[in-house]
Chains A and B, each alone.
Chain A
């Protein structure tokens, strides 16, 4: 389905930055904060994704500012966002009559419930993400690689950070329907981590992690259809299997390399 392709692309591309800059905790807290906005929109019978976008962008912007001005307090901020976002979302959901199945689908995903409006939103978000990455690939690389040096070279690091974190926020929203808030950290980290084992360029990592995500999403959907189960957890389990086997394969490869080097 189209959502699978779009979400996989965004997840693969942005997931690469998350893994390479070790921002998985940041990604997780943005995701859980989005749930707050989701709940509020839901309560007011608006499209939940709108609330999710607003809250996740607010979270990503505050992370960017904290990283610049109060880096040693970032950790606490992340925990605060994580838990508060969830609490807010849950409160508003409980206040809405008849929430139960929807709650499950937001937390753990249900790609089959996507509406046309959602689809259009996700297409737009995806376009924004892809275009931004294409245009700003080099500044992103500079800030991800060596932030202090980028600042000395007069790159507006705060702006780049705001944009990159904003893209993470948008990616979070595109993935909500696929695996839900709680599980999406898997999509944002494991495929890129696998790609890192086998690729030595950022572009290569992006391509491979997108493909892995796509494979997992599509096969997860088929499997879940066959066994009549929610797709979200199945997709994540497939990714987990890929991840574990890749780590093992890389270990074997490294051990063989060490043996060959010692034999010389």
Chain B
């Protein structure tokens, strides 16, 4: 059962690209029982925000705490699905191998332990693709590939899932099945989903935040049932 604990704290975060201000004074808290959607226009900063949380990008100013640590230290407890997976889909690799790679966790010389293999199996089963585990990536459909990448994010048993546009190029019925799985996962993991489809999002997530670069309000926050704007970080 998820308690209501603060797991990510972002305060007065600012970030610029090549000297051009991009995000200004963002404030956001993510809690252990969150199922949060993030929407906003393209190029508005959603992916940037996720990358800042993950320590892939460094902020110009402000504080990001991930599980009470810096992003680079805390990110081991985050499972991440990026928007554009910059890979060659013809790469000779099976679904199971992709998921196992998540278990490497920073070590250079590493054989997979039994715990690694179990974690990978659990992740594949959770995403309902255990039967596809020995298929090559280029033998899987778009929806199946996405499940592989979510399984990869789950393999290190994260406490938070960050999913960046997991539903692009996936048709509606598959999206529904996907969100059903996410709802299931939400029973034990906090989930943050960046998505365009507000309709689908609003059916499943608890809250939605809207981000738009250099908006004077920074990150706007909407509860699903109300149109109130409120700050997310509790004092």
Contact = CB atoms under 8 A, between A and B. Distances in A.
A48 to B, nearest CB: 32
A156 B106 contact: yes
Nearest to B84: A148
A150 B54 CA distance: 12
A155 B104 contact: yes
Interface residues of A, number: 30
Contacts of B78: 152
Interface in B156-176: 156
A204 B101 CA distance: 18
Contacts of B102: 149, 153
A150 B102 CA distance: 8
Given A136-B109, A152-B54, A205-B92, A146 B85 contact: yes
Contacts of B98: 145
A200 interface: yes
Nearest to B101: A142
A149 B105 contact: no
B77 to A, nearest CB: 11
A154 B105 contact: yes
A156 B152 CA distance: 19
Given A138-B112, A200-B136, A148 B105 contact: no
Contact of B108 (A20, A146, A149, A159): A159
A201 B92 contact: yes
A67 interface: no
A159 B102 CA distance: 18
Given A138-B101, A148-B86, A152-B56, A160 B108 contact: yes
Contacts of B107: 139
Contacts of B80: 149, 152
Interface residues of B, number: 34
A192 to B, nearest CB: 11
Contacts of A136: 108-109
Contacts of B131: none
A138 B112 CA distance: 9
B104 A142 contact: yes
Contacts of B97: 141
B141 to A, nearest CB: 15
Given A136-B108, A199-B92, A154 B152 contact: no
Given A152-B54, A201-B92, A145 B101 contact: yes
Interface string B107-150: 11111100000000000000000000000100000000000000
Contact of A22 (B72, B76, B85, B88): B88
Nearest to A142: B101
Contacts of B94: 201
B200 interface: no
A196 B92 contact: yes
Contacts of B105: 153-155
B188 interface: no
Given A136-B109, A153-B105, A156-B106, A145 B93 contact: yes
A75 interface: no
A258 to B, nearest CB: 16
B147 to A, nearest CB: 16
A2 interface: no
B87 A146 contact: yes
B183 to A, nearest CB: 25
A144 B90 CA distance: 12
A135 interface: yes
Interface in B59-103: 72, 75-76, 78, 80, 82, 85-88, 91-94, 97-98, 100-102
B92 A138 contact: no
B152 to A, nearest CB: 7
Contacts of A102: none
Contacts of A201: 92-94
Given A146-B86, A156-B106, 19 more contacts: A20-B91, A136-B108, A141-B97, A144-B91, A145-B93, A145-B98, A145-B101, A146-B85, A146-B87, A149-B80, A149-B102, A149-B152, A151-B56, A152-B56, A153-B101, A154-B76, A159-B108, A200-B92, A201-B92
26 contacts: A22-B88, A136-B109, A138-B104, A138-B112, A139-B110, A142-B101, A144-B91, A146-B87, A147-B86, A148-B82, A149-B80, A149-B85, A150-B104, A152-B55, A152-B78, A153-B76, A153-B101, A153-B102, A153-B156, A154-B72, A155-B105, A155-B108, A159-B108, A199-B92, A201-B93, A205-B92
